[in-house]
Amino acid sequence: MISSSTVWWRPRLHKFGQWSQPNCFFATASCLTKLFVGAVVWTEGCQVDNHLTMTVMLIVAHAPLASALKAVAQHTFPDCTKRLEALDVLPDMTPELIQAQLRELILGCGGAETLILTDVFGATPCNVARQLALQEDLGQVKVVTGVNVPMLWRALCYADDSLDALVGRAVAGATQGIMQVAVSRPQNQITRSAPHDQNPDHHQ
C-alpha cells in the first residue's frame, strides 16, 4: 500500500473500505450514490447543505489566476468543488467593487465558515479579504495568502476539518509543495565529444 508520505494528496479511505476521491462534502445517500455511479454537475453557485456546518472556499486573485486554479481543481477532483468559488480581480476593478462581489459570493454560498485563498500578501485581493474577515455578519472568515495548486488540493482533501485546522492544512500543503527537483545524469550515460571537423567556437 502506498504510504501517505509518498503521495501527500492521497484520498482518504472511504468507510466502505475502498479508495475514493477525497472527502467531497457528500452528506446524503443520494450524493454518495452519485459519487460511485457518475459525475455530478454543479451549475450555479455553491451547493451547500444548510443542515451541516460547512466551510466554503473562495479563491480571490489577479485575473486569470483564480478561475484557472478553480479549473485545475475541477479537472483533478470534479466531485469536490461544489463549495469552491473563484473571483478574478481585473485591472480596472476598484477595491469597493471587489469587496461587493466577494461579499455577495460569501453570502450566496451560505456557509457558516469561509476560507479565502488569495495570491499575494499586501495586494488588493488580500487586503479586501482581510477587511471582509472583520465583518461579523459574514460568520467566521479566515484568509490565507500565497495560494498555489498544492495548497488548493490539500484544502479540498480536508475540507470537512474545522476552519482552524483547514488553515493549517492549506499552509502546510503550499509550503510542502515547493521544493527543488533533483536532476542527475544517469551513471551509464556517456557524453559524446564533437567530431574533429566541428569547431564549437565557429559560427556560420
Q: Band of the pLDDT at 111, cuts 50, 70, 90?
A: confident
Q: What percent of the chain has pLDDT over 70?
A: 66
- Cβ atoms of 116 and 129 within 8 Å: the answer is yes
Distance CA 61, CA 69 (A): 10
Q: What per-residue confidence (pLDDT) applies to 43?
A: 25
Averaged confidence pLDDT in the chain? 76
Instruction: Please indicate whether residue 7 or residue 46 has the higher confidence score (pLDDT).
Output: 46
**Is pLDDT of 46 > 70?**
no
- Cβ atoms of 24 and 80 within 8 Å: the answer is yes
- Cβ atoms of 61 and 88 within 8 Å: the answer is yes
Tens digit of each residue's pLDDT (9 = 90 or more) over 69-98: 999 999 998 887 888 999 999 999 999 999
The CATH number fitting domain 43-176, selected from 3.40.630.10, 3.30.200.20, 3.40.630.90, 3.40.50.510: 3.40.50.510
Instruction: Give the DSSP H or E segment for 99.
Output: helix 95-109
